[in-house]
Amino acid sequence: MKVPDFVRQGAVIAGAGGDGDLSLTVVDRGGHQVQYINAERPWTPRFSPDGRLVVYGAFGEGRSTSDLWITDLDAGVTKRLTNDDVDANDPQWNPKGNSIAYSASAPGGKDVEVIPLKGGNPRELAVRDGNQFPSDWLRDGSALLVTEEAGANGYDVLVQPADGSPARPYAATSASETAARISPDGRWIAYTSDASGKAEVYLDAYPQPHRRVLVSSGGGEHPVWRGDGRELYYWHDGRLIAVEIGEAKGDVPPAIGAHTLLFKAHYPGGINTMYDASPDGQRFVIVGQR
Q: Are the C-beta atoms of 217 and 4 separated by less than 8 Å?
A: yes
Please give the residue range of the domain that contains residue 72: 11-289
63-85 pLDDT, tens digit each: 999 999 999 999 999 999 999 99
Domains of the chain: total? 1
Mean pLDDT of 128-142: 96
Report if residue 282 sits inside a domain. yes
pLDDT in tens, 22-52: 999 999 999 999 999 999 999 999 999 999 9
pLDDT, tens digit (0-9, with 9 covering 90-100), for 233-280: 999 999 999 999 999 888 889 999 999 999 999 999 889 999 999 999
- Predicted pLDDT of residue 10: 32
Give 197: exposed, middle or buried? Use CB within 10 Å, 0-12, 13-18, 19+.
Answer: exposed
Question: Using an 8 Å Cβ cutoff, are 235 and 222 in contact?
Answer: yes
Q: How many CB atoms lie within 10 A of CB 221?
A: 24
* C-beta atoms surrounding 57 within 10 Å: 26
**Cα dist from 120 to 14, 49, 53, 77, 113, whole Å:** 41, 21, 20, 21, 13
Residues 202-229, mean pLDDT to the nearest whole number: 96
Q: Is the pLDDT of residue 12 over 70?
A: no
**pLDDT average, residue stretch 122-150:** 95
What percent of the chain is predicted at pLDDT more than 90?
Answer: 84
Q: What is the pTM of this model?
A: 0.92
For residue 126, count other CB atoms closer than 10 A to its CB.
Answer: 24
In a domain, 88, yes or no: yes
Instruction: Find the CATH number of the domain harbouring 85.
Output: 2.120.10.30
Q: Which of left, alpha, beta for 281 (phi over 0: left; psi -120 to 50: alpha)?
A: left
**Assigned domain for 6 exists:** no
Dihedral sign from CA coordinates of 190, 105, 59, 155: negative
Tell me whether residue 2 is in a domain. no
**Which of 44-58, 115-129, 230-244 has the lowest average pLDDT?**
115-129
Q: What does DSSP say about strands 283-289 and 275-277: parallel, antiparallel, or unpaired?
A: antiparallel
The answer as to whether 83 is a domain residue is: yes
